[in-house]
Amino acid sequence: MISYGFSFLSLALMRTPFQEARARDTAPLRVQVAEGLRFLWGQPFVRTTAILWSLGNFAGPGVLFVLVVVGRRQGLTRGAIGALLALFGGGLLVGSLLGPLVRRLLPVRAILLAEFWSWLGSALFIAWPNVYVLAVAMVPVSLAIPNSDSVVDGYRLAITPDRLVGRVESVRTTIAVSAAPLGPLVAGVLLERVSAQAAVAVFTVFNVALALWGTLSPAIRDAPRLERLDELGSQHSR
């Protein structure tokens, strides 16, 4: 509740106009959503990352669910399991703080591939099935996620015309979160019927497939340099 209160206060105090002045659009909701979907689908980079992020949202929660269950099976207290999850959250915070430096040093493609390939660390758990190994293996992922998200979100907002931002974001968010509930579900089935190692192996193979897709994707390979984002934004907001 406190975080939401600060977010509301921050938004209320903003005075910078973030969008162009325009007349209210009275088109039906289905027409607006369809327009957002057409724009998203017509942009190769935005389309590809929306799909990859959706599939990644299947694997990520699944592995974190495995971490919780394995922690309980190996006798960790609730507090210790919470601390391991907090380690992942701390990595997200540190990754966010390192974002400006990372974006200065690395091109877009390298930042995105860093997240895809960092998931390979979870394979260590297959050879050494200890909850602490899995928790530590997830740290590189948590460091990479904020940087790749900032690049993808910044690029998408830069190329999207002001009047379509809400429509494109609603479509993109729906795609991105659609697979998230399935990860823990699949993990639970595998934990019950096979083993924790098998569950992590399934998600690791899945993430390797995503990493290969991202590595070979022309849309990601041809993504523009970060310096062009302002130029793209000014062109598409006219």
2 in a structural domain: no
Q: Give residue 170's pLDDT.
A: 87
As a whole number, the mean pLDDT across the chain is 84
Burial class for 148, CB neighbours closer than 10 Å (0-12, 13-18, 19+): buried
149 in a structural domain: yes
199 in a structural domain: yes
Tokens encoding 193:
């019927």
User: Which of the 8 DSSP states describes residue 128?
Assistant: S
Total count of domains within the chain: 1
Q: Which amino acid is at 84?
A: L
Tokens encoding 97:
């703080």
DSSP percent split of the chain into helix, strand, coil, nearest 5: 80, 0, 20
8 in a structural domain: no
Segments in the chain below pLDDT 50? 236-238
Q: Give residue 215's pLDDT.
A: 92
164 in a structural domain: yes
Q: Give residue 191's pLDDT.
A: 92
Burial class for 133, CB neighbours closer than 10 Å (0-12, 13-18, 19+): middle
Q: Which CATH number is 185's domain given?
A: 1.20.1250.20
Domain that holds residue 112: 28-236
Q: Give residue 169's pLDDT.
A: 87
Backbone phi and psi for residue 179, each to the nearest 5 degrees, phi listed first? -95, -5
174 in a structural domain: yes
Q: Give residue 184's pLDDT.
A: 92
15 in a structural domain: no
Q: Give residue 17's pLDDT.
A: 61
21 in a structural domain: no
Q: Give residue 237's pLDDT.
A: 46
Q: Give residue 72's pLDDT.
A: 92
User: Which of the 8 DSSP states describes residue 224?
Assistant: P
